Every structure is written in C-alpha cells, then in structure tokens.
C-alpha cells in the first residue's frame, strides 16, 4: 500500500492521500481524493442506485435527483476539500479497476486529547458483496491510525443494514451500543448501532495485513 501525504500548515497530516491498490473478488480497489471531474461518474452511480442507497442515507433538503445530479457535485467537492484543508475531514472516493465505485469519508475529526472521528461509506450496488467496501474501509482505517494520527474511529449503522454490518464485522469493528432515534434517515428518526475501533486494536499489523492473512484481500 502506498500513501501520499500533505500537511496544511501542520494541522492535518494524512490528506490528500492515495491508498492501495488491493485485490478483491470484484477487482483492484484503490482509494484517492475526490476530483472535480468525478461529477459524471459519481452522478451516474448515485442516480442509478437510488433505491439501493436512499434508505440508509441521512434525510436532506431537495429530491434525490436534484442532490445527486452532476451539477451538484462541484459544490460538494468544494465543501469536502475545504473541510479536509481545515483538518475536519478526510474525504475519499473508491475506485475498482480505475472506475469510481463509491466513497469513504472520515468526518468530524477532533484533535487534541481525543483524536477521534466517524467514518461512513457507500459502494455502488453492482460492486456490493465483492469485498470492495471492506478493502476500502481497511485501507482508510490504517491510514487514519497511521499517517493521520487518529486514535479512535466510530461508525453508526442501522440495525437493518445487514451488508454494512458485515463490512464492519470483517474489518474488526466492535459493537458499543444502540443509539435510539439517532439520525433522520429516509424521512424518520432511526435507531443506529454504534461500532468503534481504536488504534491499539489494529496494532501491530494493521487491518489490511490482517485481512490479507484471513484471505479477504490480496496485495496488488
């Protein structure tokens, strides 16, 4: 695995970065920063997979088509880049064999004595079940606990989201509890399970090496 680093005034090690590639059943998985010209590919996947994605994502202003149109991407890209430069997020897109296939975002980064953040992800419907999300998440977690200098990551997921629960279990996240009516998703306040991991739990080998040893992924 390789990673390119950039520091913004010494505040945010670890972004931008390129992670991978890792080989899984679905193909060669890599992680990189989002680009302005990702608009068409991003929109095509999001519009095509509305039924697959919408029930798991936070309720937002405007319709799905409007929020996920190619014209909405520049604003989202600019916001993600600004958050990354301020040290508040690590935004990435996931590619499979060079084609955009999803996103992983590390958000609400708090430094100081906490060094914590949340991580969220989505993968295109036709890439689900092929190890893409697991490989991408593992690469990002290792990066967060390494170059980015974080200590704890949290992921919240609806109890009904079996696919996402499998990804977190493979990656070694542990369940910490249930958040009642935690987030407005698909038009209602939904319960979410909280999963977490600390840097010590990946020491010394890291998640990617652990998954390689277990046969889930292969180094490219």
35-48 pLDDT, tens digit each: 999 999 999 999 99
The residues, ordered by sequence, that sit 6+ positions from 60 with a Cβ below 8 Å of its Cβ are: 67
Q: Is residue 187 part of a domain?
A: yes
Q: Is residue 24 part of a domain?
A: yes
124 has pLDDT over 50:
yes
pLDDT value at position 119?
97
- Average pLDDT of span 45-72: 93
* Position 6 confidence tier, pLDDT thresholds 50, 70, 90: very low
- Average pLDDT of span 64-88: 94
Q: Is 90 strand, coil or helix?
A: strand
Rounded to two decimals, what is the model's pTM? 0.92
Q: Is residue 104 part of a domain?
A: yes
Q: Is 32 strand, coil or helix?
A: strand
pLDDT value at position 90?
96
Share of the chain above pLDDT 70, in %: 95
C-alpha distance from residue 165 to each of 33, 48, 53, 121, 170 (Å): 25, 23, 15, 12, 9
Residue 162 domain boundaries: 19-214
4 has pLDDT over 60:
no
Q: Is residue 10 part of a domain?
A: no
pLDDT value at position 80?
95
Q: Is residue 220 part of a domain?
A: no
217 has pLDDT over 70:
yes
Q: Is residue 14 part of a domain?
A: no
187 has pLDDT over 90:
no
pLDDT value at position 36?
96
Burial of residue 145 (number of CB atoms within 10 Å: 0-12, 13-18, 19+)? buried
CATH of the domain at 25: 3.40.630.30
* More reliable by pLDDT, 163 or 219: 163
Q: What span, in angstroms and rounded, lies between the C-alpha atoms of 168 and 121? A: 11
pLDDT value at position 144?
96
Q: Is residue 4 part of a domain?
A: no
Q: Is residue 8 part of a domain?
A: no
33 has pLDDT over 90:
yes
pLDDT value at position 12?
66
The number of folded domains in the chain is 1
9 has pLDDT over 60:
no
């Amino acid at each position: 695995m390789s990673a390119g680093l950039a520091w913004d005034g010494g505040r945010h090690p670890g972004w931008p970065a390129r992670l991978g590639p890792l080989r899984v059943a679905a193909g060669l998985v890599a992680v990189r920063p989002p680009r302005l010209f990702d608009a068409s590919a991003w929109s095509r996947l999001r519009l095509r997979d509305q039924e697959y994605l919408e029930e798991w994502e936070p309720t937002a202003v405007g319709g799905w088509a409007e929020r996920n149109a190619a014209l909405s991407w520049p604003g989202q890209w600019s916001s993600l880049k600004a958050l990354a430069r301020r040290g508040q997020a690590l935004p990435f897109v996931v590619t499979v064999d060079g084609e955009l296939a999803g996103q992983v975002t590390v958000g609400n980064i708090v430094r100081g004595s906490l060094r914590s953040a949340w991580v969220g992800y989505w993968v295109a419907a036709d890439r689900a079940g092929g190890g893409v999300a697991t490989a991408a998440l593992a690469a990002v977690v290792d990066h967060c606990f390494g170059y980015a200098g974080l200590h704890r990551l949290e992921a919240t997921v609806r109890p009904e989201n079996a696919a996402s629960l499998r990804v977190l279990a493979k990656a070694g996240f542990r369940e910490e509890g249930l958040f009642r009516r935690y987030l407005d998703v698909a038009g209602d306040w939904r319960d979410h399970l909280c999963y977490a991991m600390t840097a010590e739990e990946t020491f010394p080998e890291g998640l990617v090496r652990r998954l390689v040893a277990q046969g889930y992924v292969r180094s490219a």
